[in-house]
Amino acid sequence: MSGGVDSSATAALLQSEGWEVVGVTLKLWPQDCVSRAEDKCCGPQAVMDARSVCARLGIPYYLVDESELFQKKVIGYFAEEYRAGRTPNPCVMCNQHLKFGVLLDRARQLGCDRIATGHFARLETDSATGRTLLLKGLDARKDQSYFLFSLRQDQLCRALFPLGERTKSDTREVARACELRTADKEESMEICFVPDNDYGKFLQDAKLAQRHRGDILDIEGRKLGEHEGVEFYTIGQRRGLGISTPQPVYVVELDAANNRVVVGPESALGCSCFEVANCNWIPWETPPLEISCLARIRYNHPGVPAIVTPHPGGVASVRLAEAARAVTPGQACVFYGGDDGSRVLGGGWIVRPAPGGGTACCGP
């Protein structure tokens, strides 16, 4: 329970359905979060709100400190990816390792059978295979299935997403009907541990990265200026480059090994073929040789028709029907299928687009 309206409504709904409910807040940040926004998921106000909701519903409440694991699996990963010139997605990692990882062990200790969260996503059971399937939430504006693609079968089969069939406004009505103090609480769209969404400042303040100069090059290899560290730039970035060019240029490549930032015209950001690694497949133990699907290269991406070819070792090549802008290493690419495109087939982590935004497909 993050202290927000979604997890609060989830607890109320499950209780109304006859479940025996236990509320748990994961304390994830090593400090007490007082210096951070009070509505963060482990801040003092969030804990007070979650505890108040549980008191109102008459259910037990626990605050569980998992800050050490969070530091290793999420914060450490976050910094390491930026230092490697990739753009991380910490929410996916938190779901995989914390909310549906260690929390499952805590659930067993509390005698609980399932983990329920306020994610807007749905689950079904495949009658033919018995596998648990993941689908988009019915509220397209709030769908969070993208962040859950990496969950394994042993995690999905013990998950519950009561909000998957509801809209955000429905959720608030549930909380109001139960007179929960979180009913009208605003939600935060920022990364929970990064104040003001300024990840560069966070990395420096936490001493996870430091500024170090390197060359900014154009796509022909000509030096245009200097940067202050590849970890402070992202693919597609235009502002804050500190260089003057006749035409607008964008970051098209981050070469951490050689400490170089490569920039080029917007046309160089287009890419129709790339590789993904560490793939997770949801409907299948072994995926088909070729998969027709809709591929989303970032959370707010609408998706592009694609052909995915899985290879041994959890790698797959992705060929998009049309070039997408700023295919970014480190981001998750999630594949959707089914008659209405709502079923999550799986996904992986973007490794490297074809050089120069090319269209020639990479091999395994």
Model confidence over 110-144: pLDDT tens digits? Answer: 999 999 999 999 999 999 999 999 999 999 999 99
Domain limits, CATH 2.30.30.280, in the chain: 211-264
Confidence check: pLDDT of 336 > 50: yes
Give the homologous superfamily in CATH for domain 211-264. Adenine nucleotide alpha hydrolases-like domains (2.30.30.280)
**Higher pLDDT pick, 205 / 310:** 310
Q: What is the Cα–Cα distance from 152 to 116, expressed in whole angstroms?
A: 16
CB 347 within 8 A of CB 333: yes
For strands 343-353 and 132-136, give the pairing: antiparallel
What pLDDT sits at residue 267? 95
**Domain 270-356 in CATH 3.40.50.740:** no
What do you get for the CA distance between the two ends of the chain, in Å? 41
Q: 239-284: per-residue pLDDT in tens?
A: 999 999 999 999 999 999 999 999 999 999 999 999 999 999 999 9
Model pLDDT for residues 70-82, shown as the tens digit of each residue: 999 999 999 999 9
DSSP state of 295: E
- Please state, rounded to an integer, the average pLDDT across all residues of the chain: 92
In contact, 243 and 263? CB cutoff 8 Å: yes
SS3 109: helix
pLDDT tens digits, 135-190: 999 999 999 999 999 999 999 999 999 999 999 999 999 999 999 999 998 877 67
pLDDT more than 70, % of the chain = 93
Q: What is the mean pLDDT of residues 296-302?
A: 95
CA distances (Å), origin 82, targets 52, 114, 200: 38, 34, 9
Per-residue pLDDT, 40: 55
Domain(s) of CATH 3.40.50.620: residues in the chain: 5-197
In the chain, CATH 2.40.30.10 sits at 270-356
Instruction: Confirm or reject CATH 3.40.50.620 for domain 5-197, answering yes or no.
Output: yes
* Active site members: 94, 192
pLDDT in tens, 36-59: 444 455 578 889 999 999 999 999
Between CA 174 and CA 169 the distance in angstroms is 9
7-11: average pLDDT = 97
